[in-house]
Amino acid sequence: MAGSAGRSIVGRSAVHIAVLAFVILWTIPTLGILVSSLRDKDQIIASGWWSSFASSSQTEAGRLPASSAQVQKGDKYVIEGNLFGDGPAREISAFGTKSANPTEFNAGDVANLNDGVTLQLNADGSFVLTSPKSFEGERGQRIYYASSAPPKFTTENYQNVLFAEGIGRSFMNSLTVTIPSTIIPILIAAFAAYALAWMRFPGRALLIAVIIGLLVVPLQMSLIPLLKLYNGVGAFFGVPVKTYLGIWLAHTGFGLPFAIYLLRSYIAGLPRELMESARIDGASDFEIFIKIVLPLSMPVLASFAIFQFLWVWNDLLVAMVFLGTDAEQIVLTARLNALLGSRGGDWEILTTSAFVTIIVPLIVFFSLQRYFVRGLLAGSVKGG
Shared domain for 144 and 257, answered yes or no, is no
Supply the pLDDT for residue 165: 67
Q: Decide: pTM greater than 0.85.
A: no
Final residue belonging to a domain, choices 149, 176, 196:
149
Are 170 and 283 part of one and the same domain? yes
Answer whether residue 302 shows pLDDT above 90: no
Domain boundary among 149, 184, 207: 149
Q: Are 143 and 63 in contact (CB under 8 A)?
A: yes
Q: Are residues 138 and 182 in the same domain?
A: no
Q: Do 263 and 313 fall into the same domain?
A: yes
| CA angle at 17 for the pair 14 and 23, rounded to the nearest 5° | 140
In a shared domain, residues 281 and 350: yes
For residue 230, give the CATH number of its domain: 1.10.3720.10
Residue that finishes a domain, picked among 130, 149, 168: 149
Same domain, 179 and 226: yes
Same domain for 164 and 307?
Answer: yes
How many Cβ atoms sit within 10 Å of the Cβ of residue 257? Answer: 19
Q: What is the pLDDT of residue 180?
A: 94
Q: Are both 318 and 239 inside the same structural domain?
A: yes
pLDDT at 357 over 60: yes
Half-sphere exposure at residue 346, Cβ-oriented, CA atoms within 13 angstroms: 16
Same domain, 28 and 62: no
Contacts with 237 (C-beta within 8 Å, 6 or more apart), sequence order: none
Same domain, 317 and 250: yes
pLDDT tens-digit map of 188-232:
999 999 999 888 888 888 988 888 888 888 877 887 787 788 778
Q: What domain range is 79 assigned to? A: 56-149
In a shared domain, residues 102 and 205: no
pLDDT of the residue at 4: 55
Cα separations in angstroms, 345 against 45, 87, 141, 219: 9, 24, 28, 33
Same domain, 121 and 16: no
Number of domains in the chain: 3
pLDDT digits (tens, 9 = 90+) for 101-132: 888 888 888 898 888 889 998 988 889 999 98
